[in-house]
């Protein structure tokens, strides 16, 4: 297969669905740990096409959504400083902090700029030597390498007015935390293909063995999702629990060695808070000691942050897979993309945003369809 359209072929989708229907004999609960996969699932109604016994649980796979409120509030405080040019990807600007967001900071005079690469922020620092330029570095293992490379370049070029506000998180510790939760119902995982394209699959076999859950590395198109579900269900029906790479066109077992070397040089593993979930040990990265001068938290020493989540927001339960978005009382009423209570309604990878965008507005969603993915 060479083209994206081939991974959306309805005839092949029907064959995969028929295979899944033919092998499933009992209920199974699978979790996808990627917001892009969640949007594909909801957009194409894949969860409604699967057998009733197969439930897809949406996990904490949206990097914007899991960025902790304290870090958002620190970003707002730094961006409000007159000497700062605060750079971010666009999907962070409407993420609500405690009482504000980056759009409001910009409307009140803060120099907040949308960039398309951390290297754009580094160029802005070169062009504005009298200003402090901060890039908001968030996300999973996918976005960490370019952010690490940018800090490496800043140090190599001697650009002293650039820093990174870091909130990077790692998927394997999150899977471990999910499986250790007393409320966990997950019996198999669809692992994020883009994360594994960087990191490889070497961290997953121990998790699969220890928790006796199959982990299938999966892509993002409809046929990718269906093939991932098919392979996971087959393992569960056979009583197996191995790591299976269903995304070989992008993922190699050892990952991207150059990216891994850059991560090892610039970052070090640390405990990290996840919004709506809490602190997960060894689940994040921070800048290593030799790059500490480029850490915005150290440079600006933001203290006295008093965070407060909206009482009506249940996004933490959504991120843990304990609640479907439309089961939240605020969903689609007091919480909408225009007036979000939580990040899951704002981000392009958020589960609440997917349910709202693709009209999953009622808990009594239409019955499962029998037509294939279109």
Each residue's pLDDT tens digit, 229-270: 999 999 999 999 999 999 999 999 999 999 999 999 999 999
Cβ–Cβ < 8 Å for 211, 172 = no
pTM for this prediction: 0.90
In the chain, % helix, strand, coil (3-state, to 5) comes to 45, 20, 40
92: DSSP letter: G
- The string of DSSP codes covering 69-82 is HHHHHHHHHHHTST
* Residue 68 predicted with pLDDT over 80: yes
The Cα 184–Cα 295 span in angstroms is: 36
Cβ–Cβ < 8 Å for 72, 274 = no
Instruction: List, in order, residues 6 or more apart from 228 with CB less than 8 Å away.
Output: 190, 216, 217, 218, 219, 246
Long-range contacts of 80-83 (CB under 8 A, 24+ apart): 80/105, 80/108, 80/110, 81/110, 81/132, 81/300, 83/131, 83/132
Take residue 317 and report the two structure tokens written for it: 């339960």
Count CA atoms closer than 13 A to 268's CA, side-chain side.
Answer: 8
Predicted local confidence at residue 371, as pLDDT: 47
- The string of DSSP codes covering 234-272 is HHHHHT---EEES-TTT--TT--HHHHHHHHHHEEEEEE
Pick 374 or 334 by higher pLDDT.
Answer: 334
* Residue 160 predicted with pLDDT over 70: yes
- From 14-18, 55-59, 245-249, 311-315, the region with the lowest mean pLDDT: 311-315
- Count the neighbouring beta carbons within 10 Å of the beta carbon of residue 231: 21
The Cα 45–Cα 372 span in angstroms is: 9
* Residue 367 predicted with pLDDT over 50: no
- From 19-23, 147-151, 335-339, the region with the lowest mean pLDDT: 335-339
The Cα 137–Cα 45 span in angstroms is: 32
* Residue 369 predicted with pLDDT over 50: no
Beta bridge partners of 192: 218
Cβ–Cβ < 8 Å for 62, 347 = yes
Average pLDDT on 292-303 reads 91
The Cα 352–Cα 82 span in angstroms is: 35
* Residue 30 predicted with pLDDT over 60: yes
Take residue 35 and report the two structure tokens written for it: 């917001």
Beta bridge partners of 168: 139, 285
Take residue 174 and report the two structure tokens written for it: 């999150």
Predicted local confidence at residue 311, as pLDDT: 86
The Cα 225–Cα 48 span in angstroms is: 13
Could you tell me the pLDDT band of residue 179, with boundaries at 50, 70 and 90?
very high
325: DSSP letter: G
Could you tell me the pLDDT band of residue 99, with boundaries at 50, 70 and 90?
confident
Beta bridge partners of 272: 280
Cβ–Cβ < 8 Å for 29, 186 = yes
The Cα 223–Cα 299 span in angstroms is: 46
């Amino acid at each position: 297969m060479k083209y994206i359209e081939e991974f959306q072929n309805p005839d092949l989708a029907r064959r995969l669905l028929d295979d899944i229907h033919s092998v499933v004999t009992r209920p199974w609960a699978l979790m996808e740990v990627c917001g892009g996969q969640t949007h594909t699932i909801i957009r194409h109604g894949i969860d409604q096409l699967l057998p009733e016994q197969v439930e897809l649980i949406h996990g904490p796979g949206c990097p914007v959504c899991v960025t902790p409120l304290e870090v958002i509030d620190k970003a707002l405080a730094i961006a409000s400083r007159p000497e700062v040019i605060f750079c971010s990807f666009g999907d962070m600007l409407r993420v609500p902090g405690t009482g504000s967001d980056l759009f409001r900071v910009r409307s009140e005079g803060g120099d907040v700029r949308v960039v398309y690469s951390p290297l754009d922020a580094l160029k802005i620092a070169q062009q504005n030597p009298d200003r402090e330029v901060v890039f908001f570095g968030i996300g999973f293992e996918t976005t960490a390498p370019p952010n690490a490379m940018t800090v490496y370049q800043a140090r190599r070029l001697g650009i002293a007015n650039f820093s990174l506000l870091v909130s990077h998180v790692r998927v394997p510790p999150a899977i471990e935390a999910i499986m250790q939760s007393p409320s966990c119902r997950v019996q198999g995982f669809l692992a994020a293909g883009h994360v594994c394209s960087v990191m490889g699959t070497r961290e997953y076999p121990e998790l699969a063995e220890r928790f006796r859950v199959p982990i299938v590395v999966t892509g993002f198109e409809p046929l990718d999702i269906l093939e991932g579900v098919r392979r996971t269900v087959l393992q569960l029906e056979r009583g197996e629990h191995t790591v299976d790479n269903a995304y070989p066109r992008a993922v190699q077992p050892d990952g991207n060695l150059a990216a891994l070397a850059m991560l090892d040089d610039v970052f070090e593993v640390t405990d990290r808070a996840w919004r709506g979930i809490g602190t997960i040990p060894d689940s994040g990265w921070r800048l290593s000691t030799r790059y500490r001068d480029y850490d915005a938290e150290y440079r600006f020493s933001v203290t006295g942050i008093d965070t407060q989540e909206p009482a009506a927001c249940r996004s933490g339960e959504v991120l843990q897979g304990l609640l479907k978005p439309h089961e939240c009382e605020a969903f689609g009423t007091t919480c909408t993309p225009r007036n979000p209570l939580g990040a899951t309604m704002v981000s392009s990878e958020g589960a609440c945003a997917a349910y709202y965008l693709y009209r999953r507005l009622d808990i009594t969603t239409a019955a499962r369809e029998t037509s294939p993915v279109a």
